[in-house]
Amino acid sequence: MTAPQTHTLEVPGAVLAYDVRPGDGTSSEPPLFVFGSPMAASGFGTLAALFPDRTVVTYDPRGAERSRRTDGAAETTPEEHADDLARVIEAVGGPVDALASSGGAVNALVLVARRPELVRTLVAHEPPAVSLLPDREEALAACAHVSETYRRAGYGAGMAEFVRLVMHTGPIPADWAEHPADPAAFGFPAEDDGSRDDVLLGQNMGTSTPFEHDLAALRATSTRIVPAVGANSAGQLAHRGGEALAEALGRPAVVFPGDHGSFLDTGFGDPVDAEAFAARLREVLGVGMLEEAPVGG
């Protein structure tokens, strides 16, 4: 694959960095936009390289890595992220196919509800769509507890609560906040360094998980939406969010290899499920060119 071409784009409140990997010209398919939130483009290098036939676009969400905020705001909303996605797609020349992961899937759902002409197929992989869960009140309270812990006690305590929440299997108990995590048990520092600018805990957590999705717009959108979940993350919060999205849209969730992030580059060795994930993604995107043949799990 040709080396990524890095670009910057000035948008209201931020300067975004995005990368374009030109394909080898053997595919007539539109660009493939792969992204997460707050995971930046650096997390998708291996996956992007597995689509050498297509132009692949990655980007850093505002506030993450190379994309800097210019408005000084403490939080970023899914609507702001969706506007950023729209501007990147317009800059590269849409429409695109999209794989959106985690918080990126939340933002992508906002995008296709508002600007469906920009996305042909959206694979929404494990969105933490907490507002759609049957135990939404308990789950929303647990998410708010993560944010409150971060504001009160800092990064280590906040991340420990976050990891405890996202790794939990099954419905969230009503007494969740009464059993706080020990940061040291998760390898996080117990001391508070005073910073409160973490992209995940500070900028996105409080706005992404409680977002109320426009289900009527999503059901009516011209974008083909494929809710997706990981084979090895059953019962976890984001997996349940993907299943809840599928149920709300009246279609099955497509099962992908691995778990919530085992296809991503994290700096701790090669992503073990990237190749199998890419093969599944290629299969799912290919169905969109047929007569909506069912994609089994």
Residue position matching structure tokens 């959106």: 100
DSSP track, 29-88: SPPEEEE-SS--GGGGHHHHHT-TTS-EEEEEPTTSTT-EESS--S---HHHHHHHHHHH
Quote the DSSP letter at residue 4.
Answer: P
Going from the C-alpha of 284 to that of each of 85, 157, 256, 289, the distances in angstroms are: 22, 39, 10, 10
Percent of the chain past pLDDT 70, that is, above it, reads: 96
Residue 125 token pair:
């992989």
What is the extent of the structural domain holding 199?
136-207
**Separation CA 139–CA 26 (nearest Å):** 46
Domain boundary among 146, 178, 207: 207
Is residue 61 included in any domain, yes or no?
yes
Is residue 262 included in any domain, yes or no?
yes
Q: Please, are residues 76 and 84 in contact by the beta-carbon 8 Å criterion?
A: no
Backbone conformation region of residue 59, classed left if phi is above 0, alpha if psi is from -120 to 50, else beta: beta
Q: What is the mean pLDDT of residues 62-67?
A: 96
pLDDT for residue 3? 82
14 and 114 inside one domain: yes
Domain of 118, CATH number, reads 3.40.50.1820
27 and 121 inside one domain: yes
What's the domain count of the chain? 2
pLDDT for residue 239? 98
146 and 104 inside one domain: no
21 and 113 inside one domain: yes
Q: Please, are residues 78 and 131 in contact by the beta-carbon 8 Å criterion?
A: no
Round the average pLDDT of the chain to a whole number and report it: 94
- Which residue, among 90, 70, 79, has the nearest Cα to 113 in the 3D structure? 79
150 and 259 inside one domain: no
The model's pTM: 0.94
Predicted confidence (pLDDT) at residue 297 exceeds the cutoff of 60: no
**Separation CA 177–CA 175 (nearest Å):** 6
20 and 73 inside one domain: yes
10 and 103 inside one domain: yes
118 and 45 inside one domain: yes
Alpha helices in the chain (DSSP H): 45-49, 78-92, 103-114, 136-153, 155-167, 205-208, 215-220, 237-249, 274-287
Predicted confidence (pLDDT) at residue 225 exceeds the cutoff of 70: yes
237 and 117 inside one domain: yes
Residue 115 token pair:
């600007």
Predicted confidence (pLDDT) at residue 295 exceeds the cutoff of 80: no
11 and 107 inside one domain: yes
Residue 89 token pair:
């797609």
Domain boundary among 181, 207, 233: 207
Is residue 295 included in any domain, yes or no?
no
197 and 215 inside one domain: no
Residue 285 token pair:
């995107």
Predicted confidence (pLDDT) at residue 207 exceeds the cutoff of 90: yes
79 and 113 inside one domain: yes
Domain boundary among 160, 176, 207: 207
Q: What is the pLDDT of residues 29-49, one digit of tens each?
A: 999 999 999 999 999 999 999
Predicted confidence (pLDDT) at residue 105 exceeds the cutoff of 60: yes
Predicted confidence (pLDDT) at residue 290 exceeds the cutoff of 70: no
pLDDT for residue 1? 53
